[in-house]
Amino acid sequence: MNTRGRKSGIVVAGAAAACVALAGCVQTSAPVTQVNTKDILNRQAALAAECRLLALAYEKALEIEKANGTIVEGCPGYENVPVVTNQFTQASSFSRAASASLPLDASAKGPAATRIFQRMISRGTPAGIAEQLTTTPEFAAAVKAARRA
């Protein structure tokens, strides 16, 4: 009997167990491709454009009420803005976002416009402000950048 095969079988079995434990490790024969720099740059541009829109939403919300920092959470320049949230406010924000009606002129811009509009509301932007922002150049830029990402 070949003991070398057994030893390598143990190593392979151990690697397979580790692979299963990682819950994302999938054996594939597909070649590893290089990262597409253009895709990364497009995604960064989309995030920057959406952050500019969210910053505008935050400023408008501050004009009428005490705005929650979740609107601009993760956006550069707003690292020190207090974020006050809990499970209940997050759940209600997602519910409001899902049920919010996108203005017709914005819905004509496609699924990216819908996603951005709903994301504004789920981050805590009041629906009235989110609707107003759909007519701004910042919203158009965020939609355009999101389509490329």
Task: Give Cα separations from 20 to 23, 24, 26, 53, 86 (angstroms).
Answer: 5, 8, 8, 41, 34
Residue type, 84: V
pLDDT in tens, 18-77: 333 344 444 555 555 666 888 889 999 999 999 999 999 999 999 988 778 889 998 998
What is the predicted pLDDT for the residue at 117?
Answer: 93
pTM: 0.69
Mean pLDDT of all residues in 69-91: 82
DSSP one-letter code for 31: P
CA distance linking residue 138 with residue 43, whole number of Å: 16
**Tokens, residue 87:** 């499970």
Chain length of the chain: 149
Contact 141, 49 (CB under 8 A): yes
